[in-house]
Amino acid sequence: MSWRINILGSGAIGGLCAAGAHKAKLTYRCFVRQDRNPLRYAEGLDGQITTLEYASNDSYPLGDTDLLIMPLKAFQLEDALRQWQGKISLNTPVLLLHNGMGGVELARDIIPDNPVLLATTSHGALKLNADTVKHTGLGATMLGMAFHHPKAISLQHQLTPIMEACIGPVTWRDDMHNALWQKLLINCAINPLTALANVNNGELAQASYRPTLQAICEEVCLTAQACGIFIDAKSALEQVLNVIENTAENYSSMHQDIAHKRPTEIDAINGYVVKQAQKKGIDVPVNTQMLLAIKAL
């Protein structure tokens, strides 16, 4: 079966996906809103430049062998899902690739019959300017179903190698919600602190940040446990510190959003934890502080 890959938006991770598809000689096309500048070039870790391809015409609906990848900001997701709802068949797989949480609930509400997949990646990517993205750090990607679908097993076998080419290495996770909570925890700890202090990730290794990082981890773990996801707080802090060390030169996406005066994903990151904690009657003062501080900027 020959798949066509459809990638939305002009974000950094979408650019990496498109460049991977291009290098693997897969059939792909990028879509960008009329009021946005399209990414034209992707610079690889080896310095090689890939020129990205965009859709030249609208051919809807997308069919059973189209994969629709949505590497968008969390706050862009609802509008995108509603916009594409009428442009895809009921069998078109939709892959959500965004920071934070809340996408599953939106997809279940807007496209309940479609197979919906989730992915999270640790690859580093930075937009150098409006039309160029640079791959700044080798990472890995986790992939799984958002919720049960009869075609889940066949999609696992068909789409894993496609995503492996786009943004590999890829690990299929049957417990994707656990993986997303673990990624959420890392984002809760690193993103707002780097944005508020205007520093790169590596600066958070300083001892002065350790109490705040530990408190964030403990609060997220407590909330996750109330939601049926067990994450050990000690291991979580160690994982955060490892990410800080391994991405020391990188700037978080929230830092970049604040630096460029763009909306942030704070509501889908610390804000999601605060919202879930409120439902469970849990006090999360440090995550609440991060949420309010970012919104005040």
Per residue in 169-228, pLDDT (tens digit) is: 999 999 999 999 999 999 999 999 999 999 999 999 999 999 999 999 999 999 999 999
CB-based contacts of 157: which residues, under 8 Å, 6+ apart?
none
For the question of residue 183 being annotated catalytic, the response is yes
Residues 153 and 193 in one domain: no
Confidence (pLDDT) at 33: 78
Residues 241 and 265 in one domain: yes
How large is the average pLDDT for residues 242-268?
93
Give the separation between CA 287 and CA 270, rounded to whole angstroms: 6
Give the separation between CA 198 and CA 157, rounded to whole angstroms: 42
pLDDT of 247 > 90? The answer is: no
Residues 109 and 34 in one domain: yes
Q: Which residues partner with 30 through β-bridges?
A: 7, 54
Cis peptide upstream of residue 192 (ω within 30 degrees of 0) = no
Residues 160 and 61 in one domain: yes
Closest by Cα among 132, 97, 101 to 15: 132
Residues 247 and 185 in one domain: yes
Domain end position, chosen among 153, 174, 195 = 174
264 phi/psi in degrees, rounded to 5: -105, 170
CATH number of the domain within which 274 lies: 1.10.1040.10
Q: Which two tokens stand for residue 158?
A: 């068909």
Residues 162 and 182 in one domain: no
Residues 248 and 132 in one domain: no
Q: For Cα atoms 142, 245, 171, give the angle at the middle one, nearest 5 degrees.
A: 10
Domain end position, chosen among 156, 174, 192 = 174
Confidence (pLDDT) at 10: 87
Give the separation between CA 116 and CA 177, rounded to whole angstroms: 13
Residues 274 and 169 in one domain: no
How large is the average pLDDT for residues 113-141?
92
| Model confidence pLDDT, tens digit, residues 89-122 | 999 999 999 989 999 999 999 999 999 999 999 8
Residues 16 and 118 in one domain: yes
Domain range for 143? 4-174
What amino acid occupies position 166? C
CATH number of the domain within which 77 lies: 3.40.50.720
Residues 158 and 255 in one domain: no
How large is the average pLDDT for residues 230-240?
95
| Marked catalytic residue, from 134, 183, 279, 295 | 183
pLDDT of 59 > 70? The answer is: no
Of 31-35, 161-165, 194-198, 273-277, least confident by mean pLDDT is 31-35
Closest by Cα among 178, 176, 144, 180 to 159: 144
Domain end position, chosen among 157, 174, 191 = 174
Do residues 224 and 231 make contact, with C-beta atoms less than 8 angstroms apart? yes
Share of the chain above pLDDT 70, in %: 99
Give the separation between CA 230 and CA 223, rounded to whole angstroms: 9
Residues 137 and 251 in one domain: no
Confidence (pLDDT) at 58: 64
Number of folded domains in the chain? Answer: 2
Residues 138 and 192 in one domain: no
CB-based contacts of 63: which residues, under 8 Å, 6+ apart?
89, 91, 92
Q: For Cα atoms 287, 267, 106, give the angle at the middle one, nearest 5 degrees.
A: 130
